[in-house]
Every structure is written in C-alpha cells, then in structure tokens.
Amino acid sequence: MASPEAAKLERFLQWLQANRVELRGCKIEYCDSKKGFGIFSAKDFSDEVPMVVPLDLAITPMRVLQDPALGPECRAMFEEGEVDDRFLMILFLTVEHLHTNSSWKPYLDMLPTTFGNPLWFSDDELQELRGTTLYRATELQKKNLLLLYDTKVKALVKKLLTLYGDMEIEVSFEDFLWANSVFWSRALNIPFPHSYVFPKMEEVHDSCIPINGRSQVQKSDDQANEMTCKTEQGGTVWVEGLVPGIDFCNHDLKPIATWEVDGDGSVTGVSSSMYLFSAAQSPLEIHQEISISYGNKGNEELLYLYGFVIDGNPDDYLMVHYPVEAIDTVSCSDSKRQLLEAQKAEMRCLLPKALLDHGFFPVGIHKGKEINSCEVDQVCSYSWSGQRKMPSYANKLVFPEKFMTALRTIAMQENEIFKVSSLLEELIGSRGDKDLSETEVQSAVWEVCGDSGALQLLVDLLRVK
C-alpha cells in the first residue's frame, strides 16, 4: 500500500506534467519529516538543465489578479487599498488551502502542514530564545499577525471563499499563519521579462501591476499601498512569487545548482520559463540531492524564515543592540537623543562569526602576534585640548565606531553633557558659524567621555545576550 507521501507525490507529478513542467534529469522524492520533499538527480541524468517550469505556473501578484474566480474581487481590493502584493499572495494561499476543490490542491498538499520557525513555537520553546533579538522579533511579529488576522484577514478570506460557494468553511488564525510561512519560506525574487509582465505596454509607468510593494503582513499598521516596479535595463522586472517544483530545492552551503529565467527560450527551448541548471564541478552522482543556496544568512535569519539552523554556519553573526525604547529610562534622554542624531550613531552592530574566531579582536591581533591586517573603524582622534590620547586598543576592537559612539553618548553623565555643549559652543564661536559635522560632535563626546562608560555598557549588553 502506497504511503501518504507517495500518493501526494504521484498526484503532484501528474499536476506538474499537466502544467507543462519538464523534469529532464531529476526527480522529486520525500526526504524526511524535517526536510520534507527534495529534488534528486535521476538515473538518466544527462542534461545540465534538470528542470524547466513555465512562468505561467508561478504564484505572483499578476497571477492572482488574473485568476478567473478570485481575480476581479482581488483587483477591486487592491485598487481600494485593502491589500498589497505580498498580502495578496498570502490571502490567495490561505483561500486556496481552504477551498476543497482548488486547482492548486496537488501542489498545496505537498507543502508542510507546520513549520519550524519561531512563530510556530510553543510558549516553552519560545522561552529558549529569551535574550536573543529573535525572541523580541517573534513576539512583535506574532502580535502583528494576530491583529491583522482579527481586523482584516478573516473577513477577506471568508469574502473570497464565498466566490467558490464555500460559505460554511471556518477560517482560523493557523490557516493564515500557514500561508504566511509558506510565502516567506518559499518565495523567490524572480527577474521576469518586461514583455511578460506588461505585454501590451511600452513603458512600465503607464500602468503598474503591484510588484514588490510594502508588506502589510510585516507591518500591519502600515496602510500605504505603495507599488514599486523594479525595472532594470534590458527589460527585466523583478517580481516576488512562488515557483512550484523549483521551490522543493533544499538549501546547502555548497549548492550544486542554481536557477535562472529563460525569457526567449534560447537555453531551454521553453520561452518565459524558469529552469534549474547544474553548477557542480563534476557530473552528478545517481540520486544526488540537487541543492541551491538561500543566500548568505546567519542562523537567526535561517531560523526566523525557514525554521532550521546550520552547525558551524560561516555566515553566522552576533548582533548587539541597545533598545531604542530604553533611552527614555536614562538621564537627560532628550539631550542624548539630539547628540545621537547629530552623530548619526548606530544603535546596533552585526559581527560576522568569522570576525569573532579570536575573541572580540580582529584576526590580525591574536596572542600578541600580527597575523593578517584587518580593516576596522578608527576611533575618533580629534581633540581640542590634546589631553585625550588614542587608546592602545583603538585599532583592535571589532565593534564599529558608529556603535561605540552610541554607547558613549548613552552612558554620559549630566556634567559630561554640559562639557560637550561647552566644547561645541567654543568651536562654533571660534569659527563664526553654527554648522557642526557629525565627526566634530563625535569628537567632542569622545574627548569628554572617553570609552570607560561605553565599554561598561557594552559589557552589560553582552551579559544580557
């Protein structure tokens, strides 16, 4: 008796064939409960293009607006400002997932029913993230999604389901959460041929289909429906969308394939298509998984978007940040905000994992030996009095100067703020103008405060991490 996965796969393969998808040198197989399905080289692999998918099959904003059943209502919602492009696709996925007779059912049935990203964590699991930036981001995202579901999604989904005659189907937040996770874990930024997106138009600005708009799903309080047509020379229009088939490629640090769009059919023989092609240095082995790269992402980003992490991830990084809302609790907060703005200080920094292999110092300084020089920000050296000398660690710390500037300012005492103001007034008086550069303000703060308070604050932030 065939397993549920085998039965689903058989229906999906028939659906792909009916929609003119060509599996030339690959096959789709079930991996395991964590990875789901993947793409593997077939026995008769001989083509450098193992898969070709017509762009007509991609789930894009254009496809939703052209849908025979949902298109007119979706276009009306878009024109009225109720939805943007990403929200449109997530609504479409929610509705089609609930609609029992959906033409997309063979594809949707292949997708995971739950996800490993933190939005799906239990309360106990979420507590394991406490102390990380991901914990706060997940809290805010879930709050925004719940609000969006209650105020907009539920009513819109039920409205669209009535177009199918599905008046009795109940909609839940989990349905919306599922569609949201499907979109963010599988969507690609696709370089469509200009003529494909705008077949009857010579200029993009004449009539603009929603492309790469601002997401109401990420920012539920943002009601502005901006449309941004990202067009490059050569007639390419970048559009986000899901490509059934291609999206079953799993991620690998050393991918053996990548994907491209074939506008005129010169590569694949299929015009307006997306195809996989082998990037391997040697011929693929039989039943070798065909992986692609999801980009150079750290583990926090991988977990947030895709629900997995990688041991020894070379793209991992440490994020250290000072919460903006915490400035309200420190003394002289208004004056410090003005100084932060004047210096264009940064409230967070990202440190790549490779930069931290030898602690919080560049690779060039390790156990007293210079190995390789490493570019780091210079500590501000401007001094009115000449009393503040450049510290010995100035070119050793890996923390960016813009971030250290923020910490110096936040850690200032009231008397130090007064001294900084006096220095800046003295400079203005000597020059006869009131325009101060960010470097001059930064220099005044450094001369008065040094790094003692900033480094103590940095230690406190790292302890919280």
Query: Are both 104 and 13 inside the same structural domain?
Result: yes
Whether 179 and 34 share a structural domain: yes
Same structural domain for residues 21 and 60?
A: yes
Mark whether 132 and 265 lie in a shared domain. Answer: yes
For the chain, the domain total comes to 2
* Domain membership flag for residue 455: yes
The reply to whether 254 falls in a domain is: yes
CATH of the domain at 235: 3.90.1410.10
Shared-domain flag, residues 178 and 296: yes
Of 267, 282, 306, the one marking the end of a domain is 306
pLDDT digits (tens, 9 = 90+) for 13-44: 999 999 999 998 899 999 888 888 999 998 65
Q: Residue 312: inside a domain, yes or no?
A: no
Q: Are residues 294 and 333 in the same domain?
A: no
Whether the per-residue pLDDT at 201 is higher than 60: the answer is no
Q: 34-38, 119-123, 162-166: which has the minimum mean pLDDT? A: 34-38
Does residue 353 fall inside a structural domain? yes
Instruction: Indicate if 244 and 372 belong to the same structural domain.
Output: no
Sign of CA dihedral 442, 445, 451, 457: negative
Q: Is 244 left (phi over 0), alpha (psi -120 to 50) or beta?
A: beta
184 & 44 share domain = yes
Residue range(s) defining the domain that contains residue 366 = 317-464
Domain end among 248, 271, 306: 306
Alpha-carbon distance of 205 to 460, in angstroms, equals 51
Mean pLDDT is highest, among 230-239, 395-404, 405-414, for: 405-414
**pLDDT one-digit tens code per residue, 338-359:** 899 988 899 888 777 666 665 5
Q: Do 266 and 395 share a domain, yes or no?
A: no
- Write the secondary structure of 185-203 as one string of H (helix), E (strand) and C (coil): HHCEEEEEEHHHHCCCCCC
Same domain, 290 and 325: no
Burial of 8 (0-12, 13-18, 19+ CB in 10 A): middle
**Which has more pLDDT, 446 or 144?**
144
**Same domain for 377 and 229?**
no
- Residue 330's nearest CA partner among 404, 417, 401 is 417
pTM, two decimal places: 0.71
Q: Over the chain, what HEC string results? A: CCCHHHHHHHHHHHHHHHCCCEECCEEEEEEECCCEEEEEECCCCCCCCCEEEEHHHCECHHHHHCCCCCHHHHHHHHHCCCCCHHHHHHHHHHHHHHCCCCCCHHHHCCCCCCCCCHHHCCHHHHHCCCCCHHHHHHHHHHHHHHHHHHHHHHHHHHHHHHHCCCCCCCCCHHHHHHHHHHHHHHCEEEEEEHHHHCCCCCCHHHCCCCCCCCCCCCCCCCCCCCCCCEEECCCEEEEEEECCCHHHCCECCCCCEEEEEECCCCCCCCCCEEEEEECCCCCCCCCCECCECCCCCCHHHHHHHHCCCCCCCCCCEEEEECCHHHHHHCCCHHHHHHHHHHHCCCCEEEEEHHHHCCCCCCCCEECCEECCCCCCCCCCCCCCCCCCCCCCCCCCCCCCHHHHHHHHHHCCCHHHHHHHHHHHHHHHHHHCCCCCCHHHHHHHHHHHHCCHHHHHHHHHHHHHC
Please say if the pLDDT value at position 228 is more than 60: no
| Residue 168 belongs to a domain | yes
Same domain, 284 and 170: yes
Q: Which of 253, 272, 306 is the last residue of a domain?
A: 306
Neighbours of 363 (CB within 10 A): 16
What is the structure's pLDDT at 209?
41
Distance CA 90, CA 180 (A): 6
In this structure, is residue 311 part of a structural domain?
A: no
Question: Which pLDDT score, from 0 to 100, does residue 229 have?
Answer: 45
Mean pLDDT of the chain: 82
Structural domain includes residue 99: yes
Query: How many residues are there in the chain?
Result: 465
